[in-house]
Amino acid sequence: MPFEQHQEKNYAKDAQSIFQAALKVTEKLDGKIISSAPDKFKLTARFPKTILGQTLGDRTELSCEVRVDGEGSMVIVDAFPLDAVERKLMFGARKGVTLTVVTWFIAHLEHNLGIPPAK
C-alpha cells in the first residue's frame, strides 16, 4: 500500500460550495490550514496524529483542489504522511493512516454537501 494517496471524485455541485465544505471539514477533523488559494479553490492542511478522538499514529498533509468540470466540479485530493518536524515521511509510516485521513475527509465532505453515503 503506497504511503501517498491520490483520489479524484466528480460532484454535481459548484466549485465554491465544495471549497467552503472542504474548509469546514478541515476544521472538523482538527486540521490546520497551511496554505489556501480561495480564488483557485485550493487548500493544503496538516492533520495531527489524533483525529476525532482516534489515534492514527502519523501526522498527515492533505491538499484539496476543486476544478470546474462541465456542469459540476472535480475534487482532487493528494495526501502523504509527515514526520515529527512536519517533513514528508519517506519510510516507516504506519500502514493505512494516510488512506484513513483521505477517506474521512471525503466522507465528511460528501456529508457537508448533502450527498448520501455510498453503500
CA–CA gap between residue 11 and residue 71 (Å, rounded): 9
Tens digit of each residue's pLDDT (9 = 90 or more) over 11-49: 999 999 999 999 999 999 999 999 999 999 999 999 999
Closest Cα to residue 19, out of 57, 61, 75? Answer: 75
pLDDT for 1 beyond 60: no
Give the pLDDT score at 90. 80
Indicate the pTM of the whole model.
0.93
pLDDT for 111 beyond 90: yes
Pseudo-torsion of CA 75, 81, 83, 89, nearest 10°?
-110
Average pLDDT for the chain: 93
Confirm if 64 and 77 have CB atoms less than 8 A apart.
yes
Classify each residue of 17-29 as buried b or exposed e, where b means 16 or more C-beta atoms within 10 Å of its C-beta: ebbbbbbebbebb
Grid coordinates of 51? 483525529
pLDDT confidence bin for 118, thresholds 50/70/90: low
Tens digit of each residue's pLDDT (9 = 90 or more) over 60-72: 999 999 999 888 9
